[in-house]
Amino acid sequence: MKMKLLVAATMFAVAGQAAAAIAPGSSGNGELFLSVYDSVALTSYTRDLGIDMNTFNASGSNAGYSLSFAGDSLLASAFGSLATNSNLLWNVAALDSTVNPGNSFVGMQFLSTTNASLATVKTQTNTNLAGFATVDGYVNAVNAGATDFVTNNSSTAASADGSSYFGNSFGNNWNKKAVFDSTAAVGSSLNFFALTPSDNSGLHKATVTQFGNADGAATWTLASNGTLSYVSPAPSAVPVPAAVWLLGSGLIGMVGVARRKVK
């Protein structure tokens, strides 16, 4: 299947991204961020992707994104080579933990990678989905303790650093609230989903939307060279119906007959 990586009209631009903290879920329009962690060495790396949820939701099914971390010394200092460290797992996420006035759940939204099936993700209940909001503690801790964000839009943490370490306050399943694993090994691709509470009943299943289009699922990939990319399938060419070809050939034939009559 042919994939498109860069679409001029809808590409997420990150060049010249201003150094700033990750917008948390409590802002109502959180930013997407990358997390990479080593569950053996107990270290993690977090990167602000500079894309807010509203922007992504508007174009996420038909856009492309690519960002290389090869020049980020923090990534190398945390893990060494991505190509040789087999303990690494990664994900991409974003959250809006705010609710509409008078509601218990409605208004929240969470974006998450996973390779679980759509059917599995759809078993997420509204109550457990609301628990995803606790990951705001991870985002806020990263922002508060990461002086590196001033220059790199990224930070590192160890288990002893508390909530700013991925394994302590996020983990591979949204603080044990997700019915799916949101992570994969470096070099693997992950599908991307938007999850929102379906209503204010905690026992009801959440509303789940998978990013992509009629030609397939959109995916995130973190390559071993430090490049993170998001791609969606290029729309298939629409075949011209046989009737149109017949009509066209018929018109050409009529023109030929008319010319002979004129002669």
The sign one gets for the Cα dihedral 215, 206, 221, 48 is positive
| Distance in angstroms (rounded) separating the CA atoms of residues 30 and 23 | 5
Q: Are 109 and 95 in contact (CB under 8 A)?
A: yes
- Torsions phi, psi of 15, nearest 5? -60, 135
Average pLDDT over residues 90-94: 98
Task: Name the 3-class secondary structure at 52.
Answer: strand
Q: Which residues pair with 179 in a beta bridge?
A: none
The Cβ-side half-sphere exposure at 77, using a 13 Å CA radius, reads: 10
At 161, is the secondary structure helix, strand, or coil? helix
Domain total in the chain: 1
Mean pLDDT for the stretch of residues 54-60: 87
> How many H-runs (helices) and E-runs (strands) does the chain carry?
8, 14
Q: What is the pLDDT of residues 193-234, one digit of tens each?
A: 999 999 999 999 999 999 998 889 999 999 999 999 999 887
pLDDT at 254: 53
Q: Which domain holds residue 56?
A: 3-262
